[in-house]
Structure formats: C-alpha cells, structure tokens
Amino acid sequence: MLRRADGGSTLDVEVLAEDDWAVLRQVRLRALDDSPAAFLSSYQAEAAAGEEYWRHRCLAYRWVVARNQHRAVGLVCSVKVLDRPADERHLESIWVDPAHRRQGVLRAMLHHLAELEPEVRSWLVWVLDGNDEARAIYERLGFASTGERQLLSTLGRSEERMRLESKAAVRDLDDPGSVP
C-alpha cells in the first residue's frame, strides 16, 4: 500500500510474508546496529541466527515494513500476547532509518497496522528508561504511560509500558495536527 509520509516522499508500507525472511533479517540487523540502546536484543545475537529463526519470526508475528524506493526504511512488529486481552497488541522492534526520521514513517506504519487489525483496540509498547526521544515521539503520537514498570535485573535495565487506544488514534494519524 502506498502512503505519503509527512516529508512528501512516497512510502510503500506492507506486511512481510514468510518468504520475506531475508528482508526482515536485513532491516532488523540494521536497526540493532544503528540503535543498540533502544532494544534488549543485540546485533551479535541476531546476526548469528539462521534462516529457520527468521522464517519463524516472520510467521509468528505481524511485521510491517516501510520502503522508500524499494529500500526498507522502517519496521514495526505487532505481537498478540497470550495472557493479554484479545484486542490488545504489543508493538515491538520499532525502528526507522535515521535518514528518514521525522517524516511520518512511524505514523504511516501505525496507520497501516490499524487498518490491517481493526479488531485491535489498544497498542502497548515497552520503552527502556533512557530512551527519552522515543518516549517523546510516542507521547506525540498519543501514547500515555500505563504506570507499569519492570526491572530487567539480568540486564541491569528497566522499562515502562505505554498505551495508545488505536481506534481513536487512526483519526489522529490521519490528521497529525489534532494530536495534543
């Protein structure tokens, strides 16, 4: 699906299929290499994984990729968590190529997800403490803290959960000016 990002460029936003596993591998490794502090996983750990691992990830979760002139520039994963309500999804592995940030790429991917998963009422995201930029961006998109925090003791890090009511957000994603 073609979408126009705020920067004026045309984005191709779509869901990856199992056979797109190499695309997922390539863009996810770029994300881990570019923004190691934003994620719990590491480039080294995922670079060592083979085709079976990436095919499984493609199949198990819904991955949305944004392409600009055929090059992947953004990634979001929507995960249905077993012990959470059926109308919730966790958003993970969120990343946009630095050269394409602040041009509405994340907004466009969320909009696409909202259309693909109309049954979903809310999106949840864990933000690691210290990632103030991502937190500010999520707040700008309408996410608010749920007040839930978790300590990742083995990693010596902590994170906070944020939530966005996705139904209401679609209108705001159409009209960014309406987001407070």
Ligand X SMILES: CC(C)(COP(=O)(O)OP(=O)(O)OC[C@H]1O[C@@H](n2cnc3c(N)ncnc32)[C@H](O)[C@@H]1OP(=O)(O)O)[C@@H](O)C(=O)NCCC(=O)NCCS
Instruction: Give the contact letters, 56-85, x = binds to ligand X (CB under 6 A), - = no.
Output: ------------------------------
CB 5 within 8 A of CB 99: no
Closest CA to 162 of 144, 150, 136: 144
Q: What is the residue whose two structure tokens read 């946009």?
A: 96
> Which residue's CB is nearer to ligand X, number 16 or number 66?
66
Per-residue contact string for residues 116-155; x = within reach of ligand X by CB under 6 A? ---------x-x---x-xx-xx--xx--------------
Euclidean distance between CA atoms 123 and 27, whole angstroms: 22
CB closer to ligand X, 4 vs 102: 102
> Which CA distances in Å does 101 have to 51, 121, 160?
29, 26, 23
Q: Compose the 18-57 pattern: x for residues touching ligand X by CB under 6 A, - for all others.
A: -----------------x--x-------------------
Q: Which residue has the tokens 């998109």?
A: 141
Longest dimension (CA), the chain: 44
Residue among 47 and 50 whose Cβ is closer to ligand X: 47
16 near ligand X, judged by CB under 6 A: no
Of 57, 95, 75, 97, the closest CA to residue 13 belongs to 75
Query: How many residues make contact with ligand X (CB under 6 A)?
Result: 24
CB of 153 to ligand X, least distance (A): 20
Other Cβ atoms less than 10 A from the Cβ of 73: the count is: 24
**By the criterion CB under 6 A, which residues form the site for ligand X?**
6, 35, 38, 94-96, 101-107, 125, 127, 131, 133-134, 136-137, 140-141, 176, 179
